Structure 1
């Protein structure tokens, strides 16, 4: 019917509905083929006013002209139909005359669709009413119901009032407890006030509209099942609001025991309080209390463990006969990682030990006391008698993980197909230095050997690149040597080469960059970025004009280091082929070539000089130079930060291309710091590979980035620290400051990367623990690093077996902080210091460290039993222990 299709295309929904009303099902069905064709046409059309206008009537007509339940449900839930904005009431009118069984089928199919399908709840609920079918309890329906009840009422309505009117209330409330990840929505809608879901459900249970016992069982079952943090919060909140009676609590003793043992912290705390109340009322047997305590005392949450010890103390004070069964359980806390918990448990044993005299319990307690820290072992020996040792003490041996070894790059792919596969993989995920350099060298080699075959193999990769869209193109216009495209990371570099191969980059653009260099705004990273970028633009230019047979600068190792003999062999091959050396490629090769091995460098220099080429002579002079030097640096402060500046390094400016010379220029803290576009965290590993024997120069320019993970709570910048530790050259002040900021990072993954770097430097014998510790002390004192974060990093590193290394660091950190505490006795000064002292004390105990620590005695002599004071006393005792003890 042409009039119907004209009305659909014109967007006249009311007219389309009127025309459909005049047709029977048999007359509607043949029209669907034209509607389907129009839908296909609109999918390919631009998203403009015409297509937007046609979608609503097309949506309605498609529903009306199909008779299969599955087809109608698919049409309603289709992704391209979501923009029709057709009201559910209109669809219900269209479908209202269908058979109820058919409507029930459509209802169930729509309800089983994912939530992301966007099927309106009002449509599903209306179909339930029309068909009389059982209410669906699927994820989409229940979430839609929650949103309908909790977010669309009139101002005079309430959640409680709407729920009272719902004919399917019991079924849908029961479904709430079976729906995953519903807690966040349950708590968010209508908030937490008197008109909340929690209050409404509790009131309905009190009125008898809902089965209160079933709700209690469902809440407990849901908590036992586990789930998201939001689910735990929501169902625990509801359970508390239901206010269980003493009988109801007693009936669920087994459930509380399970939740106290394995529940998340908030749920376990509630179960612990319920069981504690039962225990103090005599409703929990000593055997059950011992079972509960055995599980809770092994939990890592110190708050739960301490609360359990308090409960055990109260029960022991009331019931002397319980001591024989409960004191061995208390001794389980002797092995807790927190020394405060160990001390509390020991105090409890000391207080009630007389109740078990004449039994085997004291011997059992003495055996368990072996797990106490050394300072408490001496105290336990005084109380319990000699604490036996199963074996004599042994000399401490530091355990460090083996230093990571760089991986040798495998040869470039031999076929164009393999190159395409590697390039595609590199652009789909971060390939690291090795993957990027292999892909880069493969593109250069095969562009030289057979450009057409390479392009054919790359076709699937090129088809997915944004610049290869016909309507977009890779529009880089040349104007005074400027381009609208910056190579800010490895992906951009590969894109540049691929676009060049595809003919999407103007030769004038490439020539302008090679001649005039980068025109990007300067920042502290610019020297690194310009050197990285220059080689890639030069390679792209040579691909168009004079392809290179291979790259001289491809590293031998994954760190970016290039073996000198390998570079000499490549120069010899260039000489044999008569190939012209690319300036930036050769400059990068010089910066990568190994010079720290002076004997190997001298031997390679003789071979290079014998080549008789200009580049061979330049390489020979470079290899016989005295080796990597470091410019003089000085510290500067900027707010909470400690940063570094450095002077000039002439050897990186002589005989190097213009784009490489800034690498040797001075670094200023306050100059060239704004307008930075280097946001990629992944590029830093490639910067390190620029200067694999001069990591200190790279660290200087990355120092502000690394400081942001601690000072500004940024995420991700510390991910380069392991590569920094594995790189070559001196690990000086900049490297250690970068590491210090990483150890105080806000996010756990950044702190873990810093710990890896610390252990790598220690394993390689390059860690200056005194320097790092002193830096950390100053950074904590200035507020750049928080003691709690540093304590977590130090604890993680010590747990690997590096106790002496961490003590060697903290013994230079703590005096700065303890001195600050002595002169500034504020809460801010002491916050987190107790945790840092705890890690230091544990490391000292394990490593057998002895001696004086400045300002420690003054802290340990303070009154009170705060964590700060108790851990200061513990550390003082550990450092003063007789070595022969």
Structure 2
């Protein structure tokens, strides 16, 4: 039988016997026929019986009579390249190879090893078998070494018919200890950059159980263990680790953990100085781009693991100085380095002064205190530095925190005598920025009278608040179809602009009535940019109204498709109803314009304008669309103007009579959102439970459609999108209702909602409990931009005479005592407000907050709030005892609370 026939029969033994009887040229002659047989079988190769596959492969290999051709065939993945999955265990492969003489087999081993490359899944134990069997040299190619390491790194079962292969052992460390190839190949692996050793597992070195695993089962960890046992040259291992780190783009945890585990000795540190500095340079360059705490933590950990000496850090001096201006963790690291350089005598005086100028006015008090401590210690150790010390410390007299100013005065006082009188003029200049509460002490130290600003503050203080904004009228209707298209594009790009949205929605209705075809053509270019996908309904959904007008295929996430799919906000439901109704108006040409377009940017609609619009529709015999009318009623500004009321009374339509009744009754009544008995009745409850939700039904009964009625009813929110300004613009005279229901719609803090607060401050209706609670809560948000929006809202309310500082102060006090918010964030927000010039406003809030926080036990973080009180009370010339402050000031000790209470007591007397 031929080899092809034996392969078809799955007779492996027959194939081997036949190969043994054939001459080399006779074997080679059958190779082409065997290849032709397998070609159509490749698609279903693994579904064939193992015997048939083994016979076919054995016959093919036997026909490769040249060791180079045999190596090529074995390295093909579908043949023998992955020996793990060879049919019948692959024992037949050795039987075929053993038909050749020793020299041929030795050549085959060399060819396979030379052709192997790192990453290729060649089973090295085949080569090892041939090495043991023939006595040929051990191959040293990168590919063979990598494959050898790979097999020591797993617990695959080793075929009994192969000599060599992994030694027994539960861990990689145990297997390499007993491997007779380890002394030859492992040192080569360390010297060959092409052989991958890997460092990923070192990310998990921190847990104690992870360290043991890494040291016994990862290549670098095993090398460290073997180096400790003297089986690997530690110097070679260190060179390899540093080479890999230099070639890596990793900035962080793995590299830091690897260096920590490597634990360089002082001698090794010194000998590798150049390499470690080279590793540090790109890390500092990365940190100069700054980033979030999560982004900067890995390179910082890496730098600390490198443990550069002061002399080594001096080579990168300017980079470290530049880092002082960046985020707190980055600046803290740079400060540590520069202080170390100063202690080592490697920092020039002018560079240290520059560092003080960069650090001493930063808001992070920990950094400032560390810098002042270094100044103090340096002058104690070297009295000759006293002059520079007091002048550098004087920079902190301009810090916004009075506690820092006091610390700076302490440092200056300790070293002023050694510095001499020559520094006094500069110190007096610096003290011009100091808090009024510390002016007397500064005057005593620097030999001057109290700062004349004190008299100016007490006699001429004037509160600085934002200018009151006049009503911001909404421009008239959009005049052309092209302008409608332009404004539509603006709404799609920014769905927060209420005025633009209202004008666009009205413009679509108006210009569809005038010339729908022309409008459809004008809209074509802007329809290419679809709105971003959202869950709730937003103003950008007006895009779908334009699409329906044009007859376009609805987009996948059109507002009509989202209806009912998710729980939406009450404001979103009314918006959805308005958009759907606008499409119906356009389709039927039922109405030439919309009634509900506001006349003010807050969403308010002037009563006289609404009466005129409704009179125009009455004159055309048109009944206004019901949702449009409902929104108009919710927006109309109450009026007592008899001429407006009289004109409305002359309207004969049902809509006219409804408007007249609405105006006479004053629209929706206002409801207080505060729970009766607050705060005692709500003590210990989450601030969202301090609010009362009551539906303000009109006196004469419901007159609104369901979508509008939902807008004023209590609602259990599961809101997906942050509050948008249009929510308030739908009820421009009832911001309390909107905030009580929606700003605190659920317990979790809502990211992005703070953006609506300034809009709420400019809106209409009483500024009640809910608005102040939203303000108090947002003043303590962790993000600076959100706190800034709250500060803007606070100042607008103060300027309009609508800020109840007592109410706001009590809400803040209750939340702080209940630990619902953090004191440091409230302090930062109130300080920001005060520094705009609103010192009296902030002081008025503090007079309510501080007594509650000073009750025993005092709330943590009250000290900085007292310091702010010192500044505010001094600047607005506030007087009058606060008993709780007096009590705190009379306590013994030198805590921040006691010291600042004493300062405040002094200012108030």
TM-score normalised to structure 2 length: 0.67
Change (3 A) 1:198 1:89: same
Q: 2:722 aligns with which of 681, 692, 715?
A: 681
Change (3 A) 1:201 1:428: farther
Change (3 A) 1:449 1:246: closer
Tell me how far 1:732 sits from its aligned partner.
Answer: 1.8
Tell me how far 1:452 sits from its aligned partner.
Answer: 3.8
For residues 157-176 of structure 1, the aligned pairs below 5 Å read: 157-158=219-220, 161=223, 173-174=245-246, 176=248
Match of 1:866 in 2: 895
Q: 1:333 aligns with which of 390, 396, 401?
A: 396
Match of 2:474 in 1: 409
Q: 1:495 aligns with which of 525, 544, 560?
A: 544
Change (3 A) 1:237 1:431: closer
Tell me how far 1:440 sits from its aligned partner.
Answer: 1.1
Q: Does 1:569 align with 2:616?
A: no
Say if 2:386 and 2:415, in contact at 8 Å, map to a contact too: yes
Q: 2:849 aligns with which of 802, 813, 820?
A: 813
Match of 2:23 in 1: none
Looking at structure 2, the residues matched to 351 and 794 of structure 1 have their Cα atoms a distance apart, in angstroms, of: 33
Q: 2:441 aligns with which of 374, 379, 394?
A: 379
Bigger drift between 395-404 and 231-240 goes to 231-240
Match of 2:884 in 1: 855
Say if 1:434 and 1:558, in contact at 8 Å, map to a contact too: yes
Looking at structure 2, the residues matched to 257 and 629 of structure 1 have their Cα atoms a distance apart, in angstroms, of: 62
Tell me how far 1:552 sits from its aligned partner.
Answer: 0.8
Match of 2:821 in 1: 785
Q: Does 1:755 align with 2:784?
A: no
Structure 1 residue matching 2:698: 3-state secondary structure: helix
Q: 2:367 aligns with which of 288, 304, 317?
A: 304
Deviations 1:346-403 (A, max 9, x none): 122222333244x322344344333322232212223332246476624111111224
Bigger drift between 258-267 and 448-457 goes to 258-267
Q: 1:581 aligns with which of 615, 621, 624?
A: 624
Say if 2:739 and 2:771, in contact at 8 Å, map to a contact too: yes
Match of 1:324 in 2: 387
Q: Does 1:701 align with 2:741?
A: yes
Looking at structure 1, the residues matched to 344 and 835 of structure 2 have their Cα atoms a distance apart, in angstroms, of: 42
Match of 1:241 in 2: 305
Structure 1 residue matching 2:637: 3-state secondary structure: coil
Match of 1:53 in 2: none
Q: Does 1:212 align with 2:253?
A: no
Looking at structure 2, the residues matched to 544 and 466 of structure 1 have their Cα atoms a distance apart, in angstroms, of: 23
Looking at structure 2, the residues matched to 519 and 224 of structure 1 have their Cα atoms a distance apart, in angstroms, of: 52
Looking at structure 2, the residues matched to 403 and 264 of structure 1 have their Cα atoms a distance apart, in angstroms, of: 36
Looking at structure 2, the residues matched to 534 and 804 of structure 1 have their Cα atoms a distance apart, in angstroms, of: 46
- Calculate the aligned-residue CA RMSD, in Å: 4.6
Deviations 1:198-244 (A, max 9, x none): 65596899399x95314315515642671345675444444443444
Say if 2:464 and 2:837, in contact at 8 Å, map to a contact too: yes
Match of 2:656 in 1: 616
In structure 2, stretches of 5+ residues that fail to align are 1-35, 48-56, 58-117, 122-192, 205-212, 225-234, 677-681
Say if 2:398 and 2:433, in contact at 8 Å, map to a contact too: yes
Q: 2:409 aligns with which of 342, 346, 352?
A: 346
Q: Does 1:541 align with 2:587?
A: no
Match of 2:147 in 1: none
Looking at structure 2, the residues matched to 681 and 263 of structure 1 have their Cα atoms a distance apart, in angstroms, of: 31
Match of 2:493 in 1: 428
For residues 143-292 of structure 1, the aligned pairs below 5 Å read: 155-158=217-220, 161=223, 173-174=245-246, 176=248, 182-183=250-251, 186-187=252-253, 189=254, 193=257, 196=258, 199=261, 206=268, 212-220=273-281, 222-223=283-284, 226-229=288-291, 233-245=297-309, 247-248=311-312, 252=315, 254-255=317-318, 258=321, 261-262=324-325, 264-277=327-340, 279-280=342-343, 289-292=352-355
Match of 1:607 in 2: 647
Match of 1:766 in 2: 802
Change (3 A) 1:295 1:733: closer
Say if 2:839 and 2:873, in contact at 8 Å, map to a contact too: yes
Tell me how far 1:322 sits from its aligned partner.
Answer: 2.7
Deviations 1:771-830 (A, max 9, x none): 2112222222233332222112212211222111111112112222222xx1xx2xxx52
Tell me how far 1:554 sits from its aligned partner.
Answer: 1.0
Change (3 A) 1:742 1:11: farther
Looking at structure 1, the residues matched to 495 and 511 of structure 2 have their Cα atoms a distance apart, in angstroms, of: 23
Say if 1:444 and 1:551, in contact at 8 Å, map to a contact too: yes
Bigger drift between 487-496 and 333-342 goes to 487-496
Match of 1:739 in 2: 775
Change (3 A) 1:89 1:466: farther
Q: Does 1:833 align with 2:895?
A: no
Looking at structure 1, the residues matched to 792 and 197 of structure 2 have their Cα atoms a distance apart, in angstroms, of: 47
Say if 1:488 and 1:678, in contact at 8 Å, map to a contact too: no
Deviations 1:546-568 (A, max 9, x none): 53211011111221111223223
Say if 1:715 and 1:746, in contact at 8 Å, map to a contact too: no
Say if 2:310 and 2:340, in contact at 8 Å, map to a contact too: no
Match of 1:656 in 2: 703
Change (3 A) 1:240 1:356: same
Say if 2:879 and 2:907, in contact at 8 Å, map to a contact too: yes
Looking at structure 1, the residues matched to 531 and 365 of structure 2 have their Cα atoms a distance apart, in angstroms, of: 53
Q: Does 1:397 align with 2:443?
A: no
Match of 1:449 in 2: 514
Q: 2:690 aligns with which of 625, 629, 643?
A: 643
Say if 2:693 and 2:741, in contact at 8 Å, map to a contact too: no
Change (3 A) 1:368 1:744: closer
Change (3 A) 1:609 1:246: closer
Looking at structure 1, the residues matched to 43 and 494 of structure 2 have their Cα atoms a distance apart, in angstroms, of: 46
Tell me how far 1:499 sits from its aligned partner.
Answer: 4.1
Say if 1:859 and 1:869, in contact at 8 Å, map to a contact too: yes
Tell me how far 1:725 sits from its aligned partner.
Answer: 0.8
Match of 2:875 in 1: 846
Say if 1:772 and 1:809, in contact at 8 Å, map to a contact too: yes
Change (3 A) 1:808 1:235: same
Looking at structure 1, the residues matched to 360 and 778 of structure 2 have their Cα atoms a distance apart, in angstroms, of: 33
Total equivalences in the alignment: 700
Match of 2:836 in 1: 800
Match of 2:600 in 1: 557
Say if 1:649 and 1:664, in contact at 8 Å, map to a contact too: no
In structure 1, stretches of 5+ residues that fail to align are 19-86, 91-136, 469-484, 881-885
Change (3 A) 1:260 1:660: closer
- Between structure 1 and structure 2, the one with the greater Rg is 2
